[in-house]
Amino acid sequence: MRLLVTGGAGFIGSNFIRHILTKYKDYKIINLDKLTYAGNLDNLKDVEKNKNYEFVKGDICDAEIVNKLAAKVDVIINFAAETHVDRSIGSPEDFIRTDIFGTYTLLEAAKENKLKFLQISTDEVYGSIEKGSFKENDRLNPSSPYSSSKAGAELLAHSYFVTFGVDVLVTRSSNNYGPYQYPEKLIPVFITNAMEDKSLPIYGDGQQVRDWIYVIDNCEAIDLVLHKGKSGEAYNIGGGNEKTNMYITKKILELTKKPESLINYVKDRPGHDRRYSVDCKKINALGWKPRYDFDKAMKETVQWYRQNKWWWEKIKTGEYKKYYIEHYHERHGLK
């Protein structure tokens, strides 16, 4: 199989590429990535010389380059997206362009070349739920410009299945964690901040609930949907680890042996969803369940950031520093 993986230099995309190249020795992958702030070729240093791997720098909104690459593959897997909620509040236009118009460009290429199309989405498209868990046929009710752009991309993809007969699949995963995650998301920013004895800013009361999944478990689930998923269907992918943000924060401080005095309560962000939860019976029926124990995987994740300071320290002195010092920290009055 020949795969066009878009956004493959990002966190989940890079882990997925490594998973596929390791498992399927005869698969070929073209990685199309614009290399915006979170796209990092250091994430794939260990596979860059693999004969079945090719990197192309480019924008998924660029129809010329997308069509050229689509003619060489059997399937498009779209990881490419602007993803951080805070950034979507400050600059929603970037999210609309990449997440919706970029998906449209890829869908057009899939239609013209008769390709399978797998859209990587998020549980955030459902919005918040007080009790119970969302199923795939529940109404989408996104709260932020980010989750709205992902929901819009999903709906557009589904329309290409209904109207044009494109072989479309969608995965909606819960919060991922693990190696190579850009240090703006909760777990990597708190791990690295703790290592540097910097404050860990908690939104509101810290009781927001998220379901956490180790990134390799998610990659294995996406792999299964790619090969066994039913065309036109969406699949929830959850880790079964619902934890409050405060629990995650204290767990990180415990694993890094740092004091709880580093916790700093800040004003809650606008439209902050209280709880996410997804029902995964549908993908369980395909034969998938998460393999990684949460506590063990968290220890391994902390250990990875401890052993790979070369990877994250230069990020935190570059784009990360610019954004968080000039925008995030100033907005919350942090030093």
Look at residue 330 and tell me whether its pLDDT is greater than 60.
no
**Each residue's pLDDT tens digit, 118-143:** 999 999 999 999 999 999 999 999 88
Q: Quote the domain boundaries for residue 122.
A: 2-177+214-237
Q: Answer whether residue 227 is part of any domain.
A: yes
Confidence of residue 331 (pLDDT cuts 50, 70, 90): very low
Q: Answer whether residue 52 is part of any domain.
A: yes
Residue 147 near residue 89, CB atoms below 8 Å: no
Residue 3 near residue 73, CB atoms below 8 Å: yes
Q: Report pLDDT for 90.
A: 66
Q: Answer whether residue 317 is part of any domain.
A: no
Q: Answer whether residue 167 is part of any domain.
A: yes
- 276 is known as an active-site residue: no
Which one of the listed residues 123, 184, 217, 220 is annotated catalytic?
123
Q: Is the pTM of this model over 0.85?
A: yes
CATH code of the domain in which 68 resides: 3.40.50.720
Sheet holding 242-244, edge to edge: 175-177, 209-214, 242-244
Q: Judging by beta carbons within 10 Å of its beta carbon (0-12, 13-18, 19+), is residue 18 exposed, middle or buried?
A: buried
- 123 is known as an active-site residue: yes
Q: Report pLDDT for 129.
A: 93
**Each residue's pLDDT tens digit, 93-114:** 888 888 999 999 999 999 999 9
Q: Report pLDDT for 299.
A: 98
Q: Answer whether residue 17 is part of any domain.
A: yes
- Please give the structure tokens belonging to residue 197: 């004895």
Considering only CA atoms, give the Rg of the chain.
19
Q: Answer whether residue 82 is part of any domain.
A: yes
Q: Answer whether residue 272 is part of any domain.
A: no
To the nearest 10 degrees (0 to 180), the angle between helices 63-70 and 102-113 is 40
Q: Report pLDDT for 146.
A: 87
**Each residue's pLDDT tens digit, 222-271:** 999 999 999 999 999 999 999 999 999 999 999 999 999 999 998 877 76
Q: How far is CA 120 from the centre of its chain?
A: 8
Look at residue 19 and tell me whether its pLDDT is greater than 60.
yes
Residue 99 near residue 149, CB atoms below 8 Å: yes
**Each residue's pLDDT tens digit, 196-207:** 999 999 988 899
Which one of the listed residues 33, 82, 124, 211 is annotated catalytic?
124
% of the chain surpassing 70 pLDDT: 92
Q: Answer whether residue 326 is part of any domain.
A: no
Q: Report pLDDT for 335.
A: 42
Which one of the listed residues 146, 235, 276, 320 is annotated catalytic?
146
Q: Report pLDDT for 117.
A: 98
DSSP helix/strand/coil, 258: coil
Confidence of residue 191 (pLDDT cuts 50, 70, 90): very high
**Each residue's pLDDT tens digit, 277-326:** 999 999 999 999 999 999 999 999 999 999 999 999 988 887 555 554 45
Into how many domains does the chain fold?
A: 1
